[in-house]
Amino acid sequence: MSKSSIKKLARTGLVGVITKRLSKVGKASDAPAKDLLDYYPNKLAAALHPKAQQVIIKEIKEFSPDMKSIYFAPNPAKGTDSLAWFSAGQYLSISVDIEGKTFKRPYSIASSPADTLNGFYMLTIKRVGGGIVSQYILDNWKEGMEVTVSAPLGDFSYERLRDANTVIGIAGGSGITPFRSLAKAISEGDEPCSLVLLYGSRTLKDAVFSDEIEEMSKKCGKIKLVNVLSDEKAEGCESGFITAGLIKKYAPEGDYSIFMCGPQAMYNFADKEIEKLGIRRKFVRHELFGEYFHPERNEDYTGNIEDRFNLTVTIAGKTTTIPCDANTTLLRAMEAAGLNPPSDCRSGRCGWCHSQLLSGKVYIPASVDGRRLADKEFGYIHPCCTFPLSDLAIDVPPMPQ
């Protein structure tokens, strides 16, 4: 460094600063740096948001051959000593190996957050017609089996800064599971809201957890259950479907939030009814699993559902061409071909399967299109809720390790 440069630094006072810093560096310990996980904030973040959790099936309770509750406990032998905390309404993404191919499916957690402190998660899984994973789980999983699950995920949970004090829950079928979790969390004092649950079932016998939630409501005045039966009449139950009039009958004065979880047909009907109520959009939330959406039922679908196309996939630097039917999401086609693509929510929300569309045309149902404006402008898609309209080429990020 030239003398003029040193003089300039001296005038600005930087020489003194640099000298002090070098002096402190010289006095620093030469001991090896601590592991990042030795710092409490990092340790806490890893506990709350693990990349994966290794669990073991502790117990299976059968409602019928087509519906079972599965209890997971941590598997210390595989590195998971405790289960990550969650918010009522979140889900786990389950990894399942079937005939050498890896499939991932999201299932809402039916247990309460406090149950993690007692060492378990509970999922209730119902058989889905044509569902590869649900059928495999119900027919093959046994107590003692080891399973890999994600950290708790999703935003189908109560947030006091966004939601009203009362939640009107609309549930159908196995969509009751996140509401069981929410009701239990309210009764245990872990959620500050009130819950009015409108539970749509064919018959009272089909209303899983109804007796349990009714017992919670007797002990906690912030919980109310209303069974709505479409195929029978029963004392103390409403008949028919969940309409705007029925919601208004049980809703409080003033603002309230509406949370919905159930089959797509329920959303299609309930959304039209909710429009009649004039509720602000921020107060209406859906738990979506877009892979079961049928594109041909949408008026804006321009394809032929009988067509079959070629899907060229580049993933982890390897390019493969596979078949993809018009009525199948790109994600399901990749899974069927054994490509092990990344996924979690399977409903266009989480962005985990975020991929670039290199060529071809696709159809994305508006109800599950969670892309940002920039994604649409620069050709990015979520394969979990994207259907082919032609031969395609996409670039997919590899599954994180």
Which tokens go with 350? Answer: 């989480």
Tell me which H or E stretch contains 310: strand 308-315
What is the predicted pLDDT for the residue at 289? 62
Q: What is the mean pLDDT of residues 147-171?
A: 96
User: Which range, of 114-123, 138-147, 283-292, 332-341, averages the lowest pLDDT?
Assistant: 283-292
Q: What is the mean pLDDT of residues 4-32?
A: 71
What is the predicted pLDDT for the residue at 29? 81
CATH tag, 47-149: 2.40.30.10
Q: Where are the domains of the chain?
A: 47-149, 166-287, 308-396
**CA–CA separation, 303 and 325 (whole Å):** 11
**CA–CA separation, 193 and 258 (whole Å):** 12
pLDDT at 232 over 80: yes
What is the predicted pLDDT for the residue at 235? 93
**CA–CA separation, 54 and 174 (whole Å):** 25
User: Which range, of 30-44, 347-361, 378-392, averages the lowest pLDDT?
Assistant: 30-44
What is the predicted pLDDT for the residue at 315? 92
- What SS3 class is residue 157? coil
**CA–CA separation, 105 and 74 (whole Å):** 19
338-378 tens-digit pLDDT: 999 999 988 888 889 999 999 999 999 887 888 889 999 99
Higher pLDDT, residue 193 or 293? 193
170-195 tens-digit pLDDT: 999 889 999 999 999 999 999 999 99
**Greatest CA separation for the chain:** 96
Tell how strand 146-149 and strand 53-64 pair up: antiparallel
What is the predicted pLDDT for the residue at 9? 54
User: Which range, of 82-96, 157-171, 219-233, 282-296, averages the lowest pLDDT?
Assistant: 282-296
Superfamily of domain 308-396: Beta-grasp domain (3.10.20.30)
DSSP letter (8 states) at residue 367: G
Cβ–Cβ under 8 Å, residues 291 and 373: no
CATH tag, 166-287: 3.40.50.80
212-216, Cβ contacts within 8 angstroms, sequence gap of 24 or more? 212/180, 213/179, 213/180, 213/183, 216/183, 216/184, 216/186, 216/187
Look up the pTM and report it.
Answer: 0.85
